[in-house]
């Protein structure tokens, strides 16, 4: 028998012996098993059966599919973040490469917002959106997980309460003061609208667990735990800043402009959002002040956060 085959058989024998399994049985199984196909591996039939419209408007299909694509990309981002978080020997190269990979996904989502901006007829959107109330992309759990996995909780606390929140506050208390509570909570009465109440009912426990897991392994804490010389590495610094900017300014503004296009009325006022937030104010980066890595930006850059999209932000050299 050819040497390489002998070697492979020996390795297989060792593998199955170690698991208390009989190699012959597995070889017999191999003999009868069907070949793998693209459609079984990628699960195309299952994937393509997930697009179910609530109305007959053709453009609702664009709306559903584009959101699903976003969710798949969010999953890819979380997957990459996890590679950094679980790495016990984090190097500058590995960290930067992963950050750029994550950023490329976000860049793709930001630039592809035109698919939404130009992809649907406003008249169709204005009609099918009424079947979606009180749901909103706001209720994307993965979007929130990306935030929890990217930075420390203090940077996600509503800017108005940040000074008063102790960094060691219990997770449930921090949760009540996250910046996105402003989309659905009356801070005077504590009452939450359906958008927020439904979201929390479904995901609150999962979020608290996730927050605990990433409390010490989020990207910002990973960065801070590096030795000083690595922290000053230009490639890494630019990768961190690029990710912060592309998600928290570029994507946010692309999203805001898409919302503006579909929700603007002829008289200059705007439609109420399906989620019911005061969206024109709520969605702006200069209001939310969601910045994952604030210490990596200058005072001037922080002052101008989100204003004019901060297009001219400096690449460090």
Stretch that binds ligand HEM, among 11-19, 89-97, 209-217, 252-260 (CB under 6 A): 252-260
Could you tell me how many residues make up the chain? Answer: 317
CB of 16 to ligand HEM, least distance (A): 45
Q: How many residues bind ligand HEM (CB under 6 A)?
A: 23
Cα–Cα distance, 2 to 287 (Å, whole number)? 69
Stretch that binds ligand HEM, among 40-48, 161-169, 203-211, 267-275 (CB under 6 A): 267-275
Cα–Cα distance, 168 to 147 (Å, whole number)? 18
Cα–Cα distance, 311 to 293 (Å, whole number)? 18
Stretch that binds ligand HEM, among 2-10, 170-178, 236-244, 257-265 (CB under 6 A): 257-265
CB of 42 to ligand HEM, least distance (A): 22
Give me the phi and psi of 230, to 5 degrees please: -70, -35
Comparing C-alpha atoms, which of 43, 45, 64 is closest to residue 124?
Answer: 64
Choose, by CB under 6 A, the member of 176, 276, 284, 287 that binds ligand HEM.
Answer: 276
Cα–Cα distance, 187 to 182 (Å, whole number)? 8
Choose, by CB under 6 A, the member of 83, 87, 133, 143 that binds ligand HEM.
Answer: 143
DSSP state of 308: G
Q: Is the dihedral of CA 235, 291, 201, 165 positive or negative?
A: positive
The C-alpha angle with vertex 62 and arms to 56 and 63, in degrees rounded to 5, equals 90
The C-alpha angle with vertex 174 and arms to 173 and 176, in degrees rounded to 5, equals 70
Cα–Cα distance, 103 to 97 (Å, whole number)? 10
Q: Which tokens go with 79?
A: 């997957």
**Which residues are 192's β-sheet partners?**
185
Q: Which is nearer to ligand HEM, 214 or 223 (CB)?
A: 214
Neighbouring CB atoms inside 10 A of 133's CB total 14
**Contact indicator for 262, 225 with CB cutoff of 8 Å:** no
Residues 55-94 that bind ligand HEM (CB under 6 A): 66-67, 70
Stretch that binds ligand HEM, among 83-91, 157-165, 275-283, 292-300 (CB under 6 A): 275-283
Cα–Cα distance, 216 to 77 (Å, whole number)? 19
DSSP state of 226: S
Per CB under 6 A, does 286 bind ligand HEM?
A: no
Choose, by CB under 6 A, the member of 279, 292, 293, 305 that binds ligand HEM.
Answer: 279
CB of 158 to ligand HEM, least distance (A): 12
CB of 280 to ligand HEM, least distance (A): 8
Q: Which is nearer to ligand HEM, 17 or 186 (CB)?
A: 186
Stretch that binds ligand HEM, among 41-49, 130-138, 214-222, 238-246 (CB under 6 A): 130-138
Q: Which is nearer to ligand HEM, 191 or 232 (CB)?
A: 191
Q: Which is nearer to ligand HEM, 132 or 226 (CB)?
A: 132
Per CB under 6 A, does 273 bind ligand HEM?
A: yes
The single residue listed with the structure tokens 């990973």 is 222
Per CB under 6 A, does 255 bind ligand HEM?
A: yes
Residues 1-30 that bind ligand HEM (CB under 6 A): none
Give me the phi and psi of 269, to 5 degrees please: -90, 180
Stretch that binds ligand HEM, among 80-88, 100-108, 232-240, 277-285 (CB under 6 A): 277-285
Per CB under 6 A, does 182 bind ligand HEM?
A: no
Interacting residue ranges for ligand HEM, rule: CB under 6 A: 66-67, 70, 116, 136-138, 140, 143, 180, 183, 255, 258-259, 262-263, 273-277, 279, 283
């Amino acid at each position: 028998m050819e040497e390489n085959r002998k070697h492979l058989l020996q390795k297989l024998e060792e593998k199955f012996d170690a698991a208390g399994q009989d190699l012959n049985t597995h070889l017999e199984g191999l003999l009868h098993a069907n070949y793998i196909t693209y459609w079984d591996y990628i699960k195309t039939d299952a994937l393509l059966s997930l697009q179910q419209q609530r109305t007959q408007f053709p453009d609702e299909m664009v709306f559903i599919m584009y959101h699903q694509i976003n969710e798949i990309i969010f999953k890819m981002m979380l997957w990459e973040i996890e590679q950094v978080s679980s790495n016990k020997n984090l190097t500058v190269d590995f960290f930067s490469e992963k950050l750029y990979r994550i950023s490329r996904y976000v860049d793709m989502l930001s630039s592809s917002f035109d698919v939404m901006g130009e992809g649907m007829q406003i008249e169709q959107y204005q009609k099918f959106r009424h079947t979606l109330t009180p749901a909103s992309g706001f209720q994307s759990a993965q979007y929130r997980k990306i935030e929890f996995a990217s930075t420390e909780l203090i940077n996600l606390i509503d800017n108005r309460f940040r000074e008063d929140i102790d960094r060691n506050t219990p997770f449930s208390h921090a949760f009540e003061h996250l910046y996105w509570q402003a989309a659905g909570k009356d801070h005077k009465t504590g009452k939450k609208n359906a958008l927020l109440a439904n979201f929390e009912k479904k995901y609150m426990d999962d979020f608290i667990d996730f927050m605990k897991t990433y409390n010490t392994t989020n990207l910002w804490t990973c960065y801070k735990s590096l030795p000083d010389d690595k922290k000053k590495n230009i490639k890494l610094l630019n990768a961190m800043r690029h990710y912060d900017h592309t998600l928290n300014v570029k994507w946010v503004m692309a999203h805001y402009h898409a919302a503006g296009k579909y929700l603007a009325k002829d008289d200059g006022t705007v439609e109420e959002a399906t989620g019911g937030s005061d969206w024109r104010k709520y969605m702006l980066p200069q209001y939310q002040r969601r910045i994952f890595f604030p210490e990596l930006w200058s005072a001037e850059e922080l002052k101008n956060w989100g204003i004019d999209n901060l297009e001219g932000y400096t690449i460090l050299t």
